[in-house]
Structure 1
Amino acid sequence: MKIKAFLFALCTLFLWGACTAPKSGENMYNIMDYGAKGDGRTDDAAAIQAAIQACSEAGGGTVLVPAGHTFMCSPFALASFVNLHLEPNSTLLANPNEAAYTLSAFRENRGEGMMWIHGKDLKQVSITGTGTIDGNGVAFMGKELDDSFELKPVSDFDPRPHVLTLVNVEKLVVRDVTIRNSAYWTVHLIGCNDASIDGISIMNNLKIRNGDGIDVDHSKNVRIANCHIESGDDCICLKNRREFEEYGACEDIVVTNCTMISRSCAIKIGSENMDRINRVLFNNCIVKESNRGIGIQNRDEGTVTDVIFSNMIVDCMFFSDVWWGKAEPIYVTSYPRAVGNHKDAGWRFPKGATEGHCGEVSRIYFTNVKCTSENGIFVGSDTPDKVNRIYFKDVNLLLQKRTTYKGGIYDKRPCVGEGFIQDKTYGFYLDTASDILIDDCTVTWGDIRPDFATEGIKQKNVTNLKIR
């Protein structure tokens, strides 16, 4: 009797669930139903935009990019309460026509690229699925060189599209998708709050300059986890750009379980930082085949405080001078920005200023970091108190020469004055800093020890250095 009653209740529950579950297609907006062709040639932007608009106006749901098709498209805007879902074997492909890109990624500063997929002042936005978003980056490049692509000449307008630009989004999810071949930055979060980027792959061409992976800009409460990123420029970068200063600090950021490959700096904080970068945790990450591993590159008046790097493997080597960095596995610096003739140089300093000032870098912790590189760890600033309270605990460095590029050099760029330090290769090179602790660390030379190799630590103008 009890068994019959249980089975009756179970059947009743199943039938009730079947009656109340969403019907197939309910709150689902297939972009092909709105006119998208998916032939890889037709510009499907209008159809995609129509599906997004209909979904948002109906109160939200899923905009479906169906499997088995390539949807070439010009720029389009996301909307609140919309999940853009890419089915397996589906692709969104950026229109290769430069004339299609007219919306600046940096407001009035039009010198650093345009927007492709974008959104502003939104709530509850998602991009999910195992399909692909392809930035068509090579189409926007000049001639291919041995170490990079030439950049086409521009003046105050650079038509190269950023793949995904999201401004002031509350509750954002980007999950599982593959994003590849960006012509400029790939994922740019500006003033976002409560954002989760999980399980995505960013596969950029390693020869494309400015091809950042994920840039977290003036954003808060961001989690990046379980991602694989390959990029010519920085893989994950935290910053506060001057164009978006009203959004305040970049803080409460967690990055975990990621693997990264970069021709520039795999993990970077800066260089643009006109506010505060605070409370940041990088944990359980692997950096390999990169030009620089972990870099704090403060070049503006903002500060960097309370940052932890733990349980990491970092592998670096020299690459050509096209890329900034000289194989420093760990790099902690604060130098005033140089006055330059860059296409957007007018946006580098505070309004009306003709020279830059750099802020404090303090309370930075490195714990259980295993490094293999052709160069040593570099810490430096313009005044002894600017970079302070830097802690190295159980940091192990194997110096191993693997390329034919010249050693005995450290890269301070961008900075006022000489951008390079020519010296021997040390395990730790400390140049103008204070309150440094090196605790239970090792420096070992590999089987190839070049002439410029020397002892473990060099210090210049350092106060309160403790070695245990």
Structure 2
Amino acid sequence: MKKLLLVFTIITAFMACKTHSEKNKKDNMENEISETDIWKKADKIIADITVPQFKDQLFDITEYGAVADGTTNNSEAFKKAIAACNEAGGGKVIVPEGKFLTGPIHLKSNVNLHLNEGSEVLFSKDAKDYLPAVHTSYEGVELMNYSPLIYAYEQENIAVTGKGTFDGQADNDNWWPWSGAERYGHKEGEAHQKQDHNLPALRKMNEKNTPVSERNFGEGHQLRPTFFQPFGCENVLVKDVTFTNAPFWVIHPIKSNNVTVDGVTVNSHGPNNDGCDPEYAKNVHIKNCLFNTGDDCIAIKSGRNNDGRRVAIPSENIVVEDCNMKDGHGGVVMGSEISAGVRNVYVRNCIMDSPNLDRAIRIKTNTLRGGFVDGVYVKNIEVGQVKEAMLKVNLHYGIYDNQEGEFFPNISNIYLEDINVENAGKYGILIIGREGSKISNINLKNITIKGAETATKITDADPVNYENVTINGSKMK
């Protein structure tokens, strides 16, 4: 009997060990699968995005009266060609080789505005051409303002494509001086956006939840328009075109779904010249692009303060790949207008390199913005040179402007891997948290950082999880 009991005990122990071993093996497999699934999710987002298709019908703007002399205002010709294309069920509105001056272009459903190689669309320098005011947005706050240069409101299946150039003609004599900055042409005594009737008035309307229809700006005000803004649109394609000399943000898909930005060049160094700013946007694919900008290359946003909380649409399911970031405040950035939150951002196979690029990956918010960032996945990034840090998370953004409130941000689940940095600037990793907010589960794997003046500066945040990370030759633990 004792022998039988001993045998039973041995068998039970063996089975328990085997079960435990199998469980550990299963857990390890699940962890491996989980890491693989992260990028499978990115692939699925891309596969699920509807890229618009168009009828094989052509509408040449010259057949509607356009003149390629660079001085004739062709606004009516663009308008007529787009209307005819839309009414015929869709197709391509063709801009042939040459220089075409115009006011704002308003796209309609099923229209692909196509710029042939050698074509250049020049936008009017007369602010009055961008009136009447339309429903748009300025720094994360909705308002009635000057029309974006290219605008689509609640349309479906739209595109701007081709090898031509959109030139906003903004410079130190036009649009940029409204920023109030001397280096952008502002002269003392001239009107600018920081005066009480401009941004301060809009900020107060945001705080008071003033209806958007009553936030009337435009004529007599100095808030610059965005360049290309699909507002509340479905199935948007921007492919191969070049944008230059923008008044403000360049590509701004807001409240839009299924957005593809492919092979685009943004070469624009004016004030607030962000390259691409998805806001309240879902299912966005940015690929094969060159960003050389006066502000953030890509900045993912979701509204400022009360407006973001009112709209309450997170930006999510955004994939950035095979892009080249040169000058800018950040390569891929989340914030600072981020009050409705951001989730599921994937960045892979990009090059970020310029003595005028401040950071590679950046998250910025404060206790007026609040918001959350949940799920940022970055892989296979080559960073040549940045000024401040490879990774910067800052929950005190704008502290010198007294941007303090009661909405504490939550930053979690950040994964960076397979990154090489040749010259990191001031810091390898810079994380500035704050009491009452949460920065948790930041994971760095297979990363080599060189040339950092200080390896890390991390305050008010959970410890970073390092795996095979070296900064200035020292392994991080």
Give the corresponding residue for 2:441: 389
Cα distance in 2, alignment partners of residues 135 and 247 from structure 1 = 32
- Over residues 392-440 of structure 1, what are the superposed CA-to-partner deviations in whole Å (9 max), with x where a residue is unaligned? 112211116xxxxxxxxxxxxxxxxxxxxxxxx4211111101421221
Q: Which deviations, in whole Å up to 9, do the C-alpha atoms of 1:117-141 show, x marking residues without a partner?
A: 1011111111111111111121333
- 1:404-415 equivalences in 2 (<5 Å): none
Match of residue 324, structure 2, among 259, 262, 266:
259
Match of 1:308 among 377, 391, 396: 377
- Do 2:336 and 2:397's aligned partners in 1 also have CA atoms closer than 8 Å? no
Which residue number corresponds to residue 256 of structure 2? 192
Among candidates 426, 429, 437, match of residue 375 of structure 1: 426
Deviations along 1:228-287, one digit per CA (max 9) or x if unpaired, are: 110010010101014465361100000000001133122210011111211110001111
Cα 1:143–1:63 shift into 2, 3 Å: closer
1:106 Cα deviation from its structure 2 partner: 1.4
Q: Does structure 1 conserve the Cα–Cα contact (< 8 Å) formed by 2:346 and 2:377?
A: yes
2-side partners of 1:279 and 1:74: how far apart? 37
Identify which range, 356-365 or 140-149, moves more after superposition: 140-149
1:66 aligns with 2:117: no
* Distance in 2 of aligned mates of 1:111 and 1:356: 28
Residues 115, 162 of structure 1: 8 Å contact kept: yes
1:219 and 2:281 correspond: yes
218, 234, 240: which is aligned to 1:170? 234
Match of 1:335 among 396, 402, 409: 396
- TM-score normalised by L of structure 1: 0.75
Q: What's the offset of the Cα at 1:112?
A: 8.9
- Write 1 or 2 for the structure with the bigger share of helix: 2
Number of residue pairs the alignment of both structures matches = 379
Residue 461 of structure 2 corresponds to which residue in structure 1?
A: 433
Match of 1:124, SS state, is: strand
Identity of aligned residues (%): 27
Instruction: Please provide the CA RMSD for this pair.
Output: 2.8
Partner of residue 237, structure 1: 299
Aligned to 1:294: 361
Match of 1:96, SS?
Answer: coil
Distance 2:416 2:467 in 1: 10
Correspondence 1:106 to 2:126: no
> Is the CA contact 1:72–1:92 (under 8 Å) kept in the aligned structure 2?
yes
Q: Is the 8 A contact 2:178 2:222 kept in 1?
A: no
Distance 1:336 1:44 in 2: 43
Deviation at 1:73, TM superposition (A): 0.8
Q: Does 1:124 align with 2:157?
A: yes
Give the CA deviation at 1:71.
Answer: 1.0
Report the counterpart of residue 448 of structure 1 in structure 2: none
Residue 443 (str. 1) matches residue 471 (str. 2) = yes
Do the aligned partners of residues 280 and 79 (structure 1) sit closer, same or farther apart at CA in structure 2, a change above 3 Å counting? same
Shift of 1:37: 1.1
**Distance change (3 Å), C-alpha of 1:428 and 1:31:** same
Shift of 1:373: 2.0
> 3-state SS of the aligned residue for 1:41?
strand
Preserved contact between residue 431 and residue 461 of structure 2 (Cα < 8 Å): yes
Any idea what SS the aligned residue of 1:382 has? coil
Say if 1:336 and 1:382, in contact at 8 Å, map to a contact too: no
The 1:374/1:232 distance shift into structure 2, 3 A limit, reads same
Letter in 1 for 2:175: F
Are the structure 2 counterparts of residues 112 and 332 from structure 1 closer, same or farther at C-alpha, using a change threshold of 3 Å? farther
- Cα distance in structure 1, aligned partners of 2:121 and 2:348: 32
Q: How does 1:44-83 map to 2 (within 5 A)?
A: 44-67=74-97, 69-83=98-112
Match of 1:408?
none
Q: Which residue in 2 is equivalent to 1:278?
A: 343
Partner of 2:122: 93
Rounded to whole Å, the distance in 1 between the matches of 2:365 and 2:176 is 29
| CA drift at 1:338 | 4.7
Which structure dedicates a bigger proportion of its chain to strand? 1
2:289 maps to a residue whose letter is C
Deviation at 1:147, TM superposition (A): 10
In the aligned structure 2, how far is the partner of 1:214 from the partner of 1:438? 31
Measured against aligned partners, the alpha-carbon deviations of 1:134-156 in whole angstroms (never above 9, x if no partner) come to 11121333499999424464231
> Residue deviations 1:64-117, cap 9 Å, x none?
1112x1111111210000111110000111101123233363177569975111
Aligned equivalents of 1:266 and 1:336: distance in 2?
A: 17
State the one-letter code of the partner of 1:396.
T
Q: In 2 relative to 1, CA 246–384 (structure 1 residues): closer, same or farther, beyond 3 Å? A: closer
In structure 1, the gaps of 5 or more residues are 1-24, 319-326, 342-347, 349-353, 401-424, 446-455, 458-466
> Is contact 2:333-2:362 (8 Å) kept?
yes
The alignment status of 1:42 with 2:69, answered yes or no, reads: no
- Once residues 114 and 171 of structure 1 are traced to their aligned partners in structure 2, the CA distance between those partners, rounded to angstroms, is 21
C-alpha spacing 1:114/1:145, structure 2 compared with 1 (3 Å): closer
Q: Within 2, Cα distance between the matches of 1:357 and 1:100? A: 40
Deviations along 1:349-405, one digit per CA (max 9) or x if unpaired, are: xxxxx83523200000110111222211101211276111101112211116xxxxx
Tell me whether 152-161 or 122-131 shows the greater mean CA deviation. Answer: 152-161
The change in CA–CA distance for 1:438 and 1:153 in structure 2 (over 3 A counts) is farther
Counterpart of 1:392 in structure 2: which amino acid? L
223-232 or 33-42: bigger deviation:
33-42
Quote the Cα distance in structure 2 between the aligned partners of 1:144 and 1:273: 22
Letter in 1 for 2:467: D
Amino acid at match of 2:88: A
Contact 1:182 1:211 (C-alpha < 8 Å) held by counterparts: yes
How far has the Cα of 1:50 moved from its partner? 1.1
What letter is aligned with 2:440? N
Report the AA paired with residue 106 of structure 1: S
Q: Separation in 2 of the partners of 1:391 and 1:113?
A: 43
TM-score for both structures, normalised by structure 2: 0.74
